[in-house]
Chains A and B, each alone.
Chain A
């Protein structure tokens, strides 16, 4: 089948391949938007890829005061990992070091899932015996004394086993500036999709990788087929018009969230058009044999 073209943007006849993951979500609130964001940004730092960070995490949505349990501005943060144990460990480390420590913060469960992960029920030990348990309306909270008052933290949050990680597409453009404009438009559009995050810096990865490498111990290495400097040297996937490729990697609460995010992102890139943004959209896969979830680009078109 020949490649499609929508609004002048070529769509590769390929698919993104994604994997099942474990995910959880929490709601972080603070006395104002700035500090809710600060706690959320800090706890999702160094969480771009499970390859080196143990988890993938980002802010799913900013919540207005009217949508949080305590009536203060907040953020919903999602965390993804390959296994329940690692997810639990990452959740506690990150909330313990980055949210508990952040001025005025409080933390609530942000997902109802098939199982529970410990949150306040583990962090309460910071209270050193002065922590207070409160059950209010079927929810269990821990109040932990801290230097600006109390850190209120829900005892548990939910875990979902339906999460999907690694949904992706490539934005290919004539210059890195145009690729960035297109990728930013995609990230902004995906930001509005509930239940999906883009964990890389600003939602964008420029070092899309292949599995393994020629050096021993490398789990992932350069994806030379999409590196413009190696065009002509290796078997390249890039035509002469492309000088920059950026990848958007998407993790979602479930299959639908990833598909919705891919659609939203691709729509934004297509609408921008080739003059300002990308000339071509592709996707990363491993031949379709490794991942449980397949997202054909032609099904994701606006």
Chain B
């Protein structure tokens, strides 16, 4: 079976909500019915057939050919299969996904991977603000899975993260890992101001000393760490990094002591 392919015909006239186009929501839906699904979010009321040319049939292998910052909620809540976007996406790509694999070969807008619970989301370009973070009013951000940003992430990446792993490879904006509940955030390429601001637990792993930390972080020396080796090896084995990030005995700062204080910021000596 060939991948179910949605080829973008032209720039959408309005923001579109692509959350109905996931493997599980399309299972058993005929192609002509797929083309009738409404995805527009304004008075235009665009349908799938107005925006995309649809081809192929494998519901577990979905491809969006062509990207636009108006494509919101790509693969929202997906549980299985694979979704690939050849191009950029708008807000909330891969939000609350639980399984499967989402690849964005371009940039993603704000709230990519927001509240993600499982699966693998990889963004080859940059991600907007609030990567993996909760929407307003939600208690926790990402709570499982693997989120990789090959480019740069905006501010508040991994905000209120609870579980899982986020790796940002070309630097992040300010307040990365703010209010983290637990989980692991990797930032190579430099984090902005005050990573880990108000984090309770969790690990923020950096490739260099942070340029600033909240004053309620305390230095914990640089004891040998098997955990550092394990995570270094994992990041290389997963193809996320090419060389070790932390080394055998990284520097450790503990915090944020303005809250629970059981989190850590690690970076190599």
Contacts and interface: CB of A to CB of B under 8 A. Distances in A.
Given A141-B227, A141-B230, A132 B238 contact: no
A110 to B, nearest CB: 16
Interface stretch (B45-53, B81-89, B92-100, B218-226): B218-226
Interface in B133-171: 163-165
Contact of A133 (B182, B224, B226): B182
Contact of B223 (A130, A134, A141, A148): A148
Contacts of A134: 184, 203, 227, 231
A31 B224 contact: yes
Nearest to B264: A132
Contact of B229 (A71, A133, A143): A71
Contacts of B224: 31, 104, 148-149
A132 B262 contact: yes
A143 B227 contact: yes
A268 interface: no
A150 B163 contact: no
Contacts of A137: 234, 237-238
B201 interface: yes
A93 to B, nearest CB: 22
A135 interface: yes
Contacts of A136: 165, 184, 230-231, 234
Contacts of A106: 226
A135 to B, nearest CB: 7
A61 to B, nearest CB: 20
Given A106-B226, A152-B226, 5 more contacts: A69-B233, A70-B230, A136-B165, A149-B224, A150-B226
User: Which 8 residue pairs are nearest across A and B when measured between Cβ atoms?
Assistant: A149-B223, A152-B226, A106-B226, A149-B224, A70-B229, A137-B234, A136-B234, A70-B226
15 contacts: A31-B224, A69-B233, A70-B230, A72-B229, A134-B227, A135-B163, A135-B164, A136-B165, A136-B230, A137-B234, A141-B230, A143-B227, A150-B226, A150-B227, A152-B226
Interface of B: 163-165, 182, 184, 201, 203, 223-227, 229-231, 233-234, 237-238, 262
